[in-house]
Structure 1
Amino acid sequence: MSFGQGGPQWGPGGTGGPGGGPAPDWAALAEAAEARTRRRKWLMIGGGALATVGIAAAVAITVVSANSDDTTASNKPASELPTAADIPGASKDPEPSFEATTPPPPPNPKDFISSAKKDKAPLTPEGLFPGKSLRAGERVYKKGPTDSTDTCASVTQPALGALLTKHDCTRMIRASYVRNGIAVTVGVAVFDTASDAAKVKDQVKKGLVTSLSGKGVPSFCRTGVCRGTYNAYGRYAYFTTTGYTSGKNVTTSDRKAYGVGDDLARFAFHRINQRGEAQASAAANAPQ
């Protein structure tokens, strides 16, 4: 058989086929191929997304397991993890508040020695003038006799005694000290109020506390010129009478006698102040 010019034709738009059958539907075949391509693409994308979700879930489970005391936490699915609604939020109850408080100031020692109503500590010559001597810097004074009386004017010169009586002195406590031939008697007058003691200090013009001798302190200031000082602190007025045991007069330029008198006046002040400090400390430490 020979194929000549009049044989069957194959080409675009032809309707013939081998053996003379019907021609293929090229358009349908192309659509089917395109559909298969699209399915493969979506399967690849979907598989990648599922893999990403799987990795994220694995990371989430690992984090929960690492931060939990529950040994089974790593086996829990993400759906069983607590949601934001399950986590407790801030309390609606008001927070406790406290009022600012300031501790009371410590007691003032002077308050205790300014009124007989608060000054309740025992008051004795030995308590006010303790020991057998006193030291002022490098100077040591030997203590002699002490005494106490409720009749203040009986142990003073008249001018001072009258002033003490006028302002209701309730007690006079005395002690004497001596060093290198110079003796001093310290007198502490007691009043009910600081006002009375201050009035005596401000109004006294003359008059001395009578010197007290004995126990190694010779008689002094019974004649001749002696030096006197006057002061007050709280409800106490305190005085010094300073002179030579030889009877020598004290002059205004006598630095030795003045120094001895000033030492004992400071000592009296400190003893009165210490009395106030002791009572203030006891009050501060007392149970409330």
Structure 2
Amino acid sequence: MSFGGPQWPQEPQHRAETPDWAALADASAARARRRKWLLIGGCAAATVAVVAVVASAVVSDKGGASGKTASDLPTAPELPSETTQPRPSFSAVAPPLPPDPKEFISNGKKDKAPLNVDTFYPGKKLTMGNRVYTKGSTARTTNCASATEGQLGAVLRAKDCEQLLRATYTKDGVAVTIGVAVLPTEAQAQAVVKQSARRISPLYGSGIEGFCKGGPVCRFVGNSYGRYAYFTATGYLNGKSVTKGDTKAFQPGDDLAEFTFRQIVRRGELQASAAATAPAER
């Protein structure tokens, strides 16, 4: 028996359904791909922005106020084939040669350094190697013939000798007088040596007497360099004669002649050096 009355609508019955996993997976993958491409796109945009900033900074640094942008720069600039740096230049005019020392001692017009006995023979002793000579008297005269013997005086006068300097040295009983005649030119000095017997008068004094006096044989030698002619008279203080090959007597005369030659050379060198440095000092 059923009771009559209104009928309430029945609620629909729910059915348990299984999710579509494949569709969900596809949707998730699609979302992941979108995120990946967005990330890549953002990085690329950021990189382009950085490059643009750097290019702009380079252009600003090099171009200054020119207003050039990165788009104005060449994509592959070519390096210059030649440098623009200045190259060294050389003068076509050769520097002047240094003065020749001999020029200063070959002509009185250039030979202007002080000239006296002490400039040639300074001090009280003279050393050559291991040999030491003691200086005695010295003398200077403008009457060159008065300090010579025989033909030498006449030749000195004819060749216009300006002055004659003498000094005497002794060692172990041997005495040597060295004489330096000063001529106007080198040619005149050479002529004096060639045309004379080269006999310089011995210079006595300061306790040195007797050598080459009264007949003993002495050794007389002469030579020249530049405008200077120089001579030696060598003898024994005890009046003994100098003999051929007498080493004891020959050595002092040779030493004094060699020393005089060096002094003449040095005189030229000093004057040449002074002439070479004079422009720089001014």
CA distance in 2, matches of 1:217, 1:82: 101
Q: 2:129 aligns with which of 128, 137, 140?
A: 137
Return the letter of the residue paired with 1:214: G
Secondary structure of 1:286's counterpart equals helix
Aligned pair 1:210/2:232, yes or no?
Answer: no
Bigger Cα displacement from structure 2, 163-172 vs 114-123: 163-172
Return the letter of the residue paired with 1:280: A
CA distance in 2, matches of 1:140, 1:97: 57
Displacement over 6 Å in runs of 4+:
51-54, 66-70, 80-85
CA distance in 2, matches of 1:260, 1:128: 17
Q: 2:160 aligns with which of 165, 168, 174?
A: 168
Matched residue, 1:34:
none
CA distance in 2, matches of 1:102, 1:135: 43
Return the letter of the residue paired with 1:105: L
CA distance in 2, matches of 1:190, 1:199: 13
Asked if 1 retains the 8 angstrom alpha-carbon contact of 2:162 and 2:183, the reply is: yes
Secondary structure of 2:110's counterpart equals coil
CA distance in 2, matches of 1:117, 1:99: 33
Matched residue, 2:173:
181
1:68 positional shift: 8.0
Change (3 A) 1:261 1:99: same
Equivalent residue runs for 1:56-67 within 5 Å: 58-59=50-51, 61-62=53-54, 65=57
CA distance in 1, matches of 2:94, 2:70: 56
Q: Describe the superposition over 1:68-106 as per-residue Cα deviations: whole angstroms up to 9, x where unpaired.
A: 879xxxxx9634769999xxxx999x9885523432221
Equivalent residue runs for 1:1-288 within 5 Å: 55=47, 58-59=50-51, 61-62=53-54, 65=57, 78-79=70-71, 97-204=89-196, 206-223=197-214, 224-287=216-279
1:62 positional shift: 3.6
Change (3 A) 1:274 1:55: same
Asked if 2 retains the 8 angstrom alpha-carbon contact of 1:61 and 1:77, the reply is: no
TM-score, with normalisation over the residues of structure 2? 0.71
Structure 2: gaps spanning 5 or more residues: 1-39, 63-67
Q: Describe the superposition over 1:227-285 as per-residue Cα deviations: whole angstroms up to 9, x where unpaired.
A: 01110000010000000000100011201111111000001111111111111111111
CA distance in 1, matches of 2:88, 2:151: 69
Q: Describe the superposition over 1:181-238 as per-residue Cα deviations: whole angstroms up to 9, x where unpaired.
A: 000000000111111001112222x251010111242331123110011100000100
Asked if 2 retains the 8 angstrom alpha-carbon contact of 1:145 and 1:212, the reply is: yes
Structure 1: gaps spanning 5 or more residues: 1-47, 71-75
Give the number of aligned pairs: 232
Change (3 A) 1:62 1:142: same
